[in-house]
Amino acid sequence: MPKTLPELLAAAKRSVDARLPQLLAEGAGEADPLDALPAAAREALVSEGKRVRPALVFLSGALFSAPEARLLDPACAIEMVHAASLILDDLPSMDDATTRRGRPALHVTHGEAVAILAAVTLLSRAFGVLADAALRAGAERISGESALDAVSRLAEACGLAGLASGQALDLKTPPDAATFDRLETIHARKTGALFVASAELGAILGGARQRELAAVRSYAKNVGLAFQIVDDLLPPAVEKTGKQARRVEAPTFVRHVGEDGARRLVHELTQHAVEALGPFGGKGEHLAELALLLRDRTS
């Protein structure tokens, strides 16, 4: 019997949760009792998260019948980048959060220096893992050029067109002066870029053609934007969301258009995401369902 979306999501999470610590350990040097870094990086990586982005890699790859074995390590690479971004996001110089995923933030347990180094560790390991996976995929049905393209997409998503730039703009934008376009840019880079890279990786490793890739990208961009707005709408209670209130002075759509306006925007973006899946017909059903699930989430 075909699996339901909740079953697929649970299976993806199980595989990723089991594989993440293995991949980190494989990249480790000889253990040193003075070195707190391996434990810190592991702590941030394996702490309880939803694993939404890895699921996107799997579901996007499934559109093109990519074997799950080819998608697992790329999905873990994406989660490593995500974990690195959460560590940095929580630093006192950024969102200044003391808890994450219901536990003390990494800089609280290990100090700022180790937290920054753990983020660098996870980010660099992500590229090692993805490059190895792309090399293996390049030896299969996927062209070497496509395999390299996958690595390049993730790199671009991290830098000046993605997470780093989005975060820098987020920190510098006066919340009350944020225009709609500015907010869209911030969210598309800070959050959307990793959703887009996740979907792109799955599609590329499934052998998608350019037109199919563009459709997948449009889906993920809309879902990513909606995801950030929902995140900003969620109640900040630590017990519920596992994180502290976001920096009070953050520029958000909720602040710009109010709660109802933000909810309407989430619905519109989700609708665009589902429409982008049109070319895939019934094969896009799980991704469409995921967009609705993320739209309606309460944590």
Site residues for ligand GRG per CB under 6 A: 49-50, 52, 81-82, 84-86, 88-89, 94, 101, 123, 158, 163-164, 167, 190-191, 228, 231
CB atoms within 10 A of CB 233: 15
In the complex, the smallest distance separating the C-beta of residue 36 from ligand GRG, rounded to whole angstroms, is 20
Tally the C-alpha atoms within 13 A of residue 166's C-alpha that lie toward its C-beta.
Answer: 27
Give, in order, the Cα–Cα distances in Å from 111 to each of 81, 94, 141, 142, 295. 20, 15, 45, 43, 35
Q: By C-beta, is 47 or 280 nearer to ligand GRG?
A: 47
Q: By C-beta, is 146 or 167 nearer to ligand GRG?
A: 167
In the complex, the smallest distance separating the C-beta of residue 207 from ligand GRG, rounded to whole angstroms, is 27
Q: By C-beta, is 147 or 229 nearer to ligand GRG?
A: 229
In the complex, the smallest distance separating the C-beta of residue 276 from ligand GRG, rounded to whole angstroms, is 21
Q: By C-beta, is 121 or 228 nearer to ligand GRG?
A: 228
What 8-state DSSP symbol labels residue 243?
B
Q: What residue spans of the chain are helical by DSSP H? A: 5-26, 37-46, 52-62, 68-90, 106-110, 112-138, 144-158, 163-172, 180-187, 193-205, 210-233, 238-241, 253-276, 285-295
In the complex, the smallest distance separating the C-beta of residue 32 from ligand GRG, rounded to whole angstroms, is 25
C-beta nearest to ligand GRG: residue: 49
Helix axes 193-205, 52-62, angle to 10 degrees: 30
Q: By C-beta, is 56 or 208 nearer to ligand GRG?
A: 56
In the complex, the smallest distance separating the C-beta of residue 183 from ligand GRG, rounded to whole angstroms, is 14
61's CB contacts (< 8 A; 6+ apart) are: 68, 70, 71, 201, 202, 203, 205, 206
